[in-house]
């Protein structure tokens, strides 16, 4: 659910909220690679290359 919310935030350009949602999703399910991938994508979109 949080990952889906992050995708929606990304689609409307709210990368700050997207990063928060993706971080929470990744913390709740650390083995789920797609959550970490989506977080990295949002970090790259905001220029946070080192954090991704």
pLDDT, one tens digit for every residue, the chain (52 residues): 889 999 999 999 999 999 999 999 999 999 999 999 999 999 999 999 886 5
How many CB atoms within 10 Å of residue 33?
A: 10
Tokens of 1: 């659910």
| Cβ atoms 28, 2 nearer than 8 A | yes
Q: Which two tokens stand for residue 42?
A: 């949002």
Cβ atoms of 10 and 17 closer than 8 Å: no
Q: How far apart are CA 37 and CA 42, in angstroms?
A: 9
Q: What is the pTM of this model?
A: 0.87
């Amino acid at each position: 659910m949080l990952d889906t919310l992050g995708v929606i935030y990304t689609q409307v350009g709210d990368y700050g909220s997207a990063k928060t949602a993706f971080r929470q999703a990744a913390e709740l399910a650390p083995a789920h690679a797609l959550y970490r991938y989506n977080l990295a994508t949002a970090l790259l979109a905001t220029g946070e290359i080192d954090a991704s």
